[in-house]
Amino acid sequence: MVPKIFSGSANRPLAEKVCQLLEVKLSPLEIHVFPDGEKRVRVVDRVLDQQCVVIQSTSIPAADNYMELFFIIDALKRSGAKSVTAVIPYLGYQRQDHIFKDGEAVSLDVVVKALEAAGATKIITFDLHTIKIPELFNIPVTHLSALPLFASKIDKAGAVLISPDMGGIRRIKIISELLGNMPYATVAKDRDLDSGEVAATKIEGEVSKIAIIVDDMISSGKTITMGAKLLKENGAEEVIAMATHAVFSEGAAKVLQDSVISKVIVTDSIEIAEDKKFEKLEIVSIAGEIAKEIKA
């Protein structure tokens, strides 16, 4: 039996696609926003002893979207839901999973505790920044990936996969194996720990005519376009970028459109506002993967 499915306000179109695939209606919620920005959440349907799913990405504004998610989970549990699975396609604060400098909070650890305290019984998410993140949870975490979707869109002829940094080697090896051990190379970078600025310095490996950068997310777009420029300087005739999460902070659309990258392929893990869409952008849906996991 398919559980009741609810959606926060962060990515309702994705939730609607999932419901369409599962042939169920999206269960209603009342979400009222007060003049000071506070939210009140009310469950309309009867959920006593029922399994429930909440779909809510925690992208910009991450804090607001998390608070709304906490309230939805709490409302469902207080209404007697047997279980509440939180589908968080993009897990906000995931890059703050450890201390970089003395005195810092481990923000992701706080978020994890809040999700558990609110009453989430399971988490479903996509392409986390590091594979150790599920270890922070005391509840089951299903870590899905958009890499098979990206692999299906890659023509191997004359192409090489590119990891945008050393941290992405595991990801690039997985998609390489999906494509019959397709060759790959890596962009080597230097990061200034004080300013956070990153500089692409060299390419480790052979560059083919078509270079396909595969990453977990694109935020400002500056790092991936810097790598693309270096690839062009090292012999690539075309550079394509693929990333699961289109975080797209302010100005990212222009940075990517004006870059040497010919196409940017992302998923709908985050709803992309119209003013953040651009000519080179292509969006593929993860709704099918979510629907399959919910039915499993």
pLDDT, tens digit, 9 for 90 and up, residues 239-293? 999 999 999 998 999 999 999 999 999 999 999 999 999 999 999 999 999 999 9
Show the tokens assigned to 213. 């950068």
Q: What is the pLDDT of residue 124?
A: 98
263 is catalytic: no
Of the residues 122, 189, 202, 209, which is catalytic? Answer: 189
140 and 211 together in one domain: no
130 and 13 together in one domain: yes
pLDDT at 193 over 70: no
Give domain status of residue 27, yes or no: yes
Give domain status of residue 45, yes or no: yes
For residues 13-51, one letter each, b for 16 or more C-beta atoms within 10 angstroms of the residue's C-beta and e for the rest, the string is ebbbbbbebbeeebbebebeeeeeeeeebebeeebeebb
Among the residue ranges 46-60, 190-204, 212-226, the one predicted with the least confidence is: 190-204
For residues 163-201, one letter each, b for 16 or more C-beta atoms within 10 angstroms of the residue's C-beta and e for the rest, the string is bbbeebeebbeebbebbeebebbbbbbeeeeeeeebebe
230 and 271 together in one domain: yes
Q: CA-CA distance, 61 to 64, in Å (whole number)?
A: 6
105 and 216 together in one domain: no
Show the tokens assigned to 292. 């399959």
The residues with which 267 forms a beta bridge, in sequence order, are: 284
98 and 210 together in one domain: no
Q: Which of 87, 118, 144 is the last residue of a domain?
A: 144
Could you tell me the residue range of the domain that residue 51 belongs to?
4-144
101 and 172 together in one domain: no
In single-letter form, the type of residue at position 9 comes to S
What does each C-alpha distance from 286 to 125, 146, 147, 148, 172 come to in angstroms?
A: 11, 7, 10, 10, 19
Per-residue pLDDT tens over the stretch 22-61: 999 999 999 999 999 999 999 999 999 999 999 999 999 9
In single-letter form, the type of residue at position 98 comes to H
Q: What is the pLDDT of residue 198?
A: 67
37 and 103 together in one domain: yes
Give domain status of residue 273, yes or no: yes
124 and 156 together in one domain: no
43 within 8 A of 76, measured Cβ to Cβ: yes
215 and 198 together in one domain: yes
Instruction: List the one residue out of 113, 111, 79 whose CA is nearest residue 95.
Output: 111
126 and 174 together in one domain: no
Instruction: Read off the pLDDT of each residue in 74-79 and give the average, rounded to a whole number.
Output: 98
In single-letter form, the type of residue at position 79 comes to S
- Give the CA angle between residues 186, 150, 211 to the nearest 5°: 35
Give domain status of residue 202, yes or no: yes
pLDDT at 191 over 70: no
pLDDT class of 197 with cuts at 50, 70, 90: low
Give domain status of residue 291, yes or no: no
Q: What is the pLDDT of residue 105?
A: 87
Per-residue pLDDT tens over the stretch 10-21: 999 999 999 999
Read off the CATH number of the domain in which 127 is found. Answer: 3.40.50.2020
The residue assigned the tokens 């505790």 is 113
Give the HSE-up count for residue 95: Cα atoms under 13 Å, Cβ half-sphere: 11
Give domain status of residue 268, yes or no: yes
List phi, psi (to 5°) of 33: -105, 120
Instruction: List the one residue out of 72, 69, 95 whose CA is nearest residue 215.
Output: 95
Give domain status of residue 290, yes or no: no
Cβ-Cβ contacts under 8 Å for 157 (sequence gap 6 or more): none
Q: What is the pLDDT of residue 229?
A: 94
129 and 192 together in one domain: no
Q: Which of 144, 171, 200 is the last residue of a domain?
A: 144
Q: CA-CA distance, 296 to 281, in Å (whole number)?
A: 32
Q: Which of 103, 122, 144 is the last residue of a domain?
A: 144
Show the tokens assigned to 49. 């002893």
Q: What is the pLDDT of residue 195?
A: 54
- CA 215 to chain CA centroid, nearest Å: 10
270 and 139 together in one domain: no
In single-letter form, the type of residue at position 51 comes to Q
Number of domains in the chain: 2
Instruction: Read off the pLDDT of each residue in 157-177 and give the average, rounded to a whole number.
Output: 92
Give domain status of residue 181, yes or no: yes
Among the residue ranges 4-8, 24-28, 177-181, 200-204, the one predicted with the least confidence is: 200-204
pLDDT at 202 over 90: no
